[in-house]
Structure 1
Amino acid sequence: MPYELPDSCNDNWSWSKREKSHEVKLLGKRNRTALFHPNWSNGTAGVRGTRNINDGRHYWEVKVSQRIFGTSMMFGIGTKRSRLHIDAFLNMLGEDDQSWGMSHKGLLWHRGDSKNYTKPFIENESTTIGILFDSNQGTLSYFKDGEPLGVAFDVFKKIDSELYPIICSTAAKTEMSLGRRRRSYSSLQDRCRAVIIRNIADEKSLDELFLPNRLVEFIREAME
């Protein structure tokens, strides 16, 4: 069964068009699919998410195409100081103290060090990785095809920098697509906004509510 984040709502974020390697091409509706090294690979390419995840709890899924192979395919989080391109084949997420990641070889990386975490992914077999960041507990956990893998890192209560989802790959012509994205409510106003969004059909319906402009913009920014 897929993980369900309790007391949460849908989140609206995508991969950033500006904060990515030149070897990442964004595809599909609202840039949710990242194609790494469209022609051939001569290094490691990454892309950062548009969502700051420092507050509350956030859960997102990354669907990986069946082209799983190579030196490193990684899933995790990092600050804006973490690199998004290197002309070398290495584990870019976790290369220093600015990022934390899990590789497709089942290893956790941070500060350039690795440790065993789970079984290596089966090559050339598609999979879905779930990532749960809990800022209240200061933890990052992973799921694989709905199965919990446990807490991977528990150091984030000490981190003051803004944190963002990041994925990266050394493998040519590999795709990773955003799936479900959920977040906990940040306030009563946020909870009320989610109720409104669930009960209107589209942005045109929002305009027909005749709400103040500031409130309309607050609701619109959370809509798909």
Structure 2
Amino acid sequence: MVKHSGGEGNSVESLHAFKEYHSDDWCWDPCNKSSDVVLSTNHLAAYFHTDPVYESIGTAGVRGTKGFREGEYYWEVIFTEPPLGTAVMVGVGTCEALLHTGNYQYVNLIGIDSHSWGISHKGTIWHDGKYRNYCEAFFDQETRIGVQLNLYSGTLTFYKNGVNLGVAFTGLSGEDMDDIYPLACSTSALTELELGIRTSRKLSLQEKCYSAILNRIGNSKRKVDQLPLPPLLKDILKGIAVYK
């Protein structure tokens, strides 16, 4: 079961926290998008509901070209126009996630079912048709929404202009989990979303062991002290737990 946690203002992190990440080169996928989404020539910018006559007649989504199964990932989506309407969203989902609704269905598409997880510009987060308040709404042009997907811990965390908003979802990992892709969607005409930095990192075997231990005990320094491990390993684990 996916749990919801976190909230705005839990911590503030500058992006140097991702200095060990390596640049990624995925972009928006021209083969996996709504017909109401137009991509820039480099496929980094997505333009929603651009028809000058019909404007928006539903909800349009687009998927990233790269699916993730293992590792840690961080990317940013820049709102190059102020978000308006029912929902402008970013998030993640499996290949089963919906990318389009017509017939004037204006919905929170990312998170409408169990195949996707997303944040709306109104400050709500969505999964499996359920939502909750997560942060203050954002309506400003050039807002940067960061997405941190950690498939070792199974967590999804959002950032706003470099500020960590806290863990939004857990449970995004497991042997039966499908590949997870970046997503964006909008109900509003003339929405523009552009990809910013895209990074990733893979843990070493030693780091995976540390991560598995901390995930099992809940990143508690008190519980680390109770483990039957040498003092040096305990110190390493407690040092890592500070940043979890």
The verdict on a shared fold, with TM-score over 0.5 as the criterion, is yes
Distance in 2 (alpha carbons) for counterparts of 1:133 and 1:3: 17
Partners of 1:153 and 1:136 lie apart in 2 by 13
- Shift of the alpha carbon at 1:126? 2.7
CA shift for structure 1 position 157:
2.3
The 3 A distance-change label for structure 1 pair 187 and 11 is farther
1:83 has 2:98 as partner: yes
Q: 1:58 aligns with which of 49, 73, 80?
A: 73
Normalised by the length of structure 1, the TM-score is 0.79
Structure 1 window deviating more from structure 2 (108-117 vs 5-14): it is: 5-14
- Mark the runs of 5 or more structure 1 residues left unpaired by the alignment: 189-224
- Counterparts of 1:116 and 1:100 in 2: how far apart (Å)? 14
| Structure with the higher strand share, 1 or 2 | 1
What's 1:22 paired with?
35
The equivalent residue for 2:180 is 163
| 1:190-220 per-position Cα deviation (integer Å, ceiling 9, x unaligned) | xxxxxxxxxxxxxxxxxxxxxxxxxxxxxxx
Alignment identity in percent? 40
Q: Give the corresponding residue for 2:226.
A: none
Q: Structure 1 residues 3 and 165, CA, compared in 2 at 3 Å: closer, same or farther?
A: farther
Q: C-alpha displacement at 1:37, in angstroms?
A: 0.5
1:73 corresponds to 2:85: no
The equivalent of 2:48 in structure 1 is 36
**8 Å contact 1:9–1:185 — kept in the other structure?**
no
Q: CA deviation at 1:8?
A: 1.8
**Structure 2: how far apart are the matches of 1:118 and 1:18?**
32
Give the corresponding residue for 1:203. Answer: none
* Aligned position for 2:166: 150
Residues 3, 146 of structure 1: 8 Å contact kept = no
Q: Which residue of 1 aligns with 2:7?
A: none
Using the TM superposition, give the Cα deviation of residue 7 of structure 1 relative to its aligned residue in structure 2, in angstroms.
Answer: 2.3
1:13-66: CA deviation from partner (whole Å, max 9, x where unpaired): 0000100000000014x2000000112101000000011122100000000023
**Residue 102 of structure 1 pairs with residue 119 of structure 2:** yes
2:21 counterpart letter in structure 1: S
* Deviation beyond 6 Å, 4+ runs, structure 1: none
Tell me the residue number matched to 1:117: 134
Deviations 1:151-204 (A, max 9, x none): 00011124511110000000101110000011004779xxxxxxxxxxxxxxxx
Rate the CA distance shift 1:3–1:172 in 2: closer, same or farther, 3 A: farther
How large is the RMSD of aligned CA atoms in angstroms?
Answer: 1.6
Secondary structure at 1:31's aligned position in 2? coil
Taking the aligned partners of 2:140 and 2:21, their CA distance within structure 1 comes to 34
TM-score, normalised to structure 2, is: 0.73
For this pair of structures, how many residues does the alignment match?
186
Q: Which moved more, 1:88-97 or 1:3-12?
A: 3-12
